[in-house]
């Protein structure tokens, strides 16, 4: 005769089992790699957007003339160019697994999100898309914790 003991179910509110934590951590790690790729691609697009703004003032059209955060297009070009270069560097750091890159990624994604919010009158649809991408990047980088470590890159 074999005896089997019923598997004990944890009471509601009890800590998660290691298996569930591993599944969640693996999903978050995949999200972090995706966030690194998104940050790299978004940075390249911001660089291109910045170059266009610097080279051709007439490319972007202001949809509303009395906007509070009004800069000329050349200024926006430089803002996007600088943020894009930093985003590319941080995205590469994320993909390499650098410990500093998660925090830098949150910081640069937050700054780029704010810049795109202020850029809404110039490119409303594109700015909203980029805001959504940066929100995902921030969420992904803020929720990932390597098993047994509070900081560190994706490995």
77-103 confidence digits (pLDDT tens): 899 999 999 999 999 999 998 889 999
Specify the higher pLDDT residue, 155 or 145: 145
How far apart (Å, rounded) are the C-alpha atoms in residues 34 and 50? 24
**Residue-level pLDDT at 71:** 75
| pLDDT greater than 80 at residue 4 | no
131 in a structural domain: yes
User: Would 138 be classed as within a structural domain?
Assistant: yes
Q: Is residue 25 part of a domain?
A: no
Q: Which structural domain range is residue 124 located in?
A: 36-58+68-143
Helices (H), 16-147: 18-55, 73-96, 99-118, 124-143
Q: Determine, yes or no, domain membership for 12.
A: no
Greater confidence (105 vs 14) lies with 105
Out of 9-23, 70-84, 110-124, 132-146, which region has the weakest mean confidence (pLDDT)?
Answer: 9-23
What per-residue confidence (pLDDT) applies to 28? 53
Which residues lie closer than 8 Å to 27 by C-beta, 6 or more apart?
Answer: none
40-90: pLDDT as tens digits: 999 999 999 899 888 876 656 655 566 666 777 788 889 999 999 999 999
Whether 19 is in a domain gets the answer no
pLDDT at 145 over 50: yes
Classify residue 85: in a domain, yes or no: yes
Number of folded domains that form the chain: 1
Q: What is the pLDDT of residues 125-137, one digit of tens each?
A: 889 999 999 999 9
Q: What is the DSSP string of 49-72?
A: HHHHHHH-TTSS--S-TT-TT---
Point out the least confidently predicted range of 53-57, 60-64, 109-113, 114-118: 60-64
**Given a cut of 70, is residue 146 above it in pLDDT?**
no
């Amino acid at each position: 005769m074999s005896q089997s003991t019923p598997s004990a179910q944890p009471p509601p509110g009890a800590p998660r089992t290691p298996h569930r934590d591993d599944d969640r951590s693996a999903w978050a790690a995949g999200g972090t790699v995706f966030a690194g790729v998104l940050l790299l691609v978004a940075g390249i697009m911001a660089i291109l957007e910045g170059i266009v703004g610097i080279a051709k003032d007439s490319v972007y059209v202001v949809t509303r003339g009395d906007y509070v955060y009004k800069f000329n297009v050349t200024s926006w070009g430089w803002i996007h160019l600088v943020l894009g270069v930093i985003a590319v560097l941080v995205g590469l750091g994320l993909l390499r697994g650098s410990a500093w890159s998660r925090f830098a990624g949150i910081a640069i994604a937050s700054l780029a999100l704010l810049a795109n919010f202020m850029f809404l009158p110039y490119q409303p649809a594109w700015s909203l898309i980029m805001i959504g991408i940066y929100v995902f990047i921030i969420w992904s980088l803020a929720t990932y914790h390597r098993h047994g470590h509070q900081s560190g890159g994706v490995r």
